[in-house]
């Protein structure tokens, strides 16, 4: 296995510790579309091309992101850039709210055509809220594996108990749960206490950290220039807690990121991401989002060094209230 690739759970998917989150490609549609600038296909292609050139080999999207817009943008980029399917890993998610598990099978062909692929590498249940049970959802997911429409099953925003249940249900079909995608960063560390991290380690499930930059706060740019917050859409400000009190509360952590960044001659974002992908051994990989190619390049470079155990311990200490 190449040095910097990690196995996702017990699967044969090998991913770079940093992937690319594609929520930002919602292209103006839906609530997620309102949060970000409406990127055109050329800009999206450049972000994806930059990611690939700088060592990222996987992309995380969802049906929910612009109701298919993000999946379509990703599919189009792969076509435009002529990227071979076996060089990258694609993860997307089924949206469970106000639906039953039967819609997993009735909507899968839409997902495949939006992404312009024959098979989805990792198909995730977006969260645990649905009219159907986890058992029915896993039965439907297993059916898709059997049909060759998806390779592996993941979940997202599942508690330790729900994760364990999904894992057990999949075992009835000879399958294993590969991943749980959760909010994890220096500003959101509850998985270390609520059993999710321990359960993942025990069952050999990877955790995919979403919002690993604290939805932009850990870049330090909103601390350096608070005016920037007013330039973001109100939904985005709400989503990312871009407000004075959060800036104050997180300023110590961001200050420490800046000091360590100076030592490595990197950016605070890279220190924040390096902590996410190294503080828990190989269990956690991350999918930062980007609205500019420069973000993607900066974030991928977080894979080029490794914080010392002392630095990780210090970051744990200064972020312990989160
Ligand atoms: N499973 C779930 O329920 C769930 C929920 C949320 C997100 N996600 C996934 O996780 C991904 C990332 O999460 P996220 O977008 O919430 O948070 P994030 O990755 O912590 O923050 C992304 C934002 O930070 C800023 N940024 C990123 N890299 C930067 C850099 N190097 N320098 C300066 N600014 C930078 C950008 O803000 P500006 O665009 O404002 O400049 C960017 O939009 C999403 O794309 C999505 O795939 C999953």
The string of pLDDT tens digits covering residues 117-174 is 999 999 999 999 999 999 999 999 999 999 999 999 999 999 999 999 999 999 999 9
Give the position, in ligand 1's atom list, of the atom nearest the Cα of 236.
40
pLDDT at 3: 59
Helix, strand, coil tally for the chain in percent (to 5): 50, 15, 35
Averaged pLDDT, 279-301: 98
> Alpha-carbon distance 266 to 263, whole Å?
8
> Alpha-carbon distance 43 to 101, whole Å?
35
Structure tokens at 136: 């029915």
Number of neighbours of residue 238 by Cβ within 10 angstroms: 12
pLDDT at 219: 98
Structure tokens at 50: 């930059």
Mutate to test the pocket of ligand 1, among 210, 231, 272, 276 (most ligand atoms within 8 A of CB): 210
Give the residue, by CA position, lying nearest to ligand 1 atom 8. 210
pLDDT at 4: 87
Residue 107 is given by DSSP the state: H
CA of residue 181 to ligand 1 center, whole Å:
14
Q: Which residues pair with 18 in a beta bridge?
A: 286
pLDDT tens-digit readout, 25-46: 999 999 999 999 999 999 999 9
Q: Does 2 have pLDDT greater than 80?
A: no
Give the residue, by CA position, lying nearest to ligand 1 atom 31. 295
> Alpha-carbon distance 81 to 75, whole Å?
10
Residue 188 is given by DSSP the state: B
Give the position, in ligand 1's atom list, of the atom nearest the Cα of 291.
39
Structure tokens at 204: 């050999």
Give the residue, by CA position, lying nearest to ligand 1 atom 38. 291
Averaged pLDDT, 6-33: 97
pLDDT tens-digit readout, 233-242: 999 999 999 9
pLDDT at 5: 97
Give the position, in ligand 1's atom list, of the atom nearest the Cα of 213.
20
CA of residue 112 to ligand 1 center, whole Å:
24
Q: What 3-state DSSP class applies to 41?
A: helix
If we measure between CA atoms, which residue out of 88, 97, 169, 99 comes closest to residue 122?
Answer: 88
CA of residue 287 to ligand 1 center, whole Å:
8
**Which pLDDT band, with edges at 50, 70 and 90, does 278 fall under?**
very high
Pair type for strands 14-15 and 6-7: antiparallel
Give the residue, by CA position, lying nearest to ligand 1 atom 35. 295
Q: Which residues pair with 90 in a beta bridge?
A: 59
Find all residues with CB under 8 Å of 97, minimum gap 6, and list them.
Answer: 127, 129, 130
Using CB distances shorter than 6 Å, the residues near ligand 1 are 21-24, 60, 156-157, 181, 210-216, 219, 221, 232, 269, 287-291, 295, 298-299
State the chain's mean pLDDT as an integer.
Answer: 97
> Alpha-carbon distance 322 to 316, whole Å?
10
Give the residue, by CA position, lying nearest to ligand 1 atom 28. 295
Give the global pTM. 0.98
> Alpha-carbon distance 22 to 37, whole Å?
13
Residues involved in catalysis = 65
């Amino acid at each position: 296995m190449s040095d910097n690739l990690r196995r996702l759970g017990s699967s044969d998917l090998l991913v770079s510790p940093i992937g690319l989150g594609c929520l930002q490609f919602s292209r103006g549609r839906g609530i997620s579309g309102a949060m970000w600038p409406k990127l055109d296909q050329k800009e999206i292609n450049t972000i994806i091309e930059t990611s690939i050139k700088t060592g990222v080999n996987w992309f995380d999207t969802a049906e929910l992101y612009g109701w298919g817009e993000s999946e379509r943008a990703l599919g189009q980029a792969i076509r435009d850039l002529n990227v071979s399917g076996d060089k990258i890993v694609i993860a997307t998610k089924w949206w469970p709210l106000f639906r039953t598990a039967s819609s997993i099978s009735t909507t899968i062909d839409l997902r495949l055509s939006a992404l312009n692929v024959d098979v989805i590498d990792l198909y995730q249940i977006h969260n645990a809220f649905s009219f159907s049970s986890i058992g029915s959802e896993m039965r439907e997911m297993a059916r898709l594996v059997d049909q060759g429409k998806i390779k592996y099953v993941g979940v997202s925003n599942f508690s330790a108990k729900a994760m364990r249940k999904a894992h057990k249900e999949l075992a009835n079909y000879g399958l294993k749960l590969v991943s749980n995608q959760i909010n994890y960063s220096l500003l959101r560390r509850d998985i270390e206490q609520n059993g999710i991290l321990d359960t993942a380690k025990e069952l050999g499930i990877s955790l995919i950290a979403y919002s690993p930059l604290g939805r932009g706060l850990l870049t330090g740019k909103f601390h350096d220039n608070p005016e920037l917050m007013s330039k973001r859409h109100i939904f985005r400000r709400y989503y990312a807690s871009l407000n004075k009190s959060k800036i104050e509360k997180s300023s110590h952590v961001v200050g420490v990121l800046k000091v360590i960044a100076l030592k490595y001659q990197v950016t605070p974002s890279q220190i924040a991401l390096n902590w996410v992908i190294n503080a828990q051994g190989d269990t956690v990989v991350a999918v930062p989002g980007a609205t500019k190619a420069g973000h993607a390049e900066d974030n991928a470079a977080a894979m080029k060094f490794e914080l010392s155990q002392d630095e990780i311990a210090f970051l744990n200490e200064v972020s312990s209230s989160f």
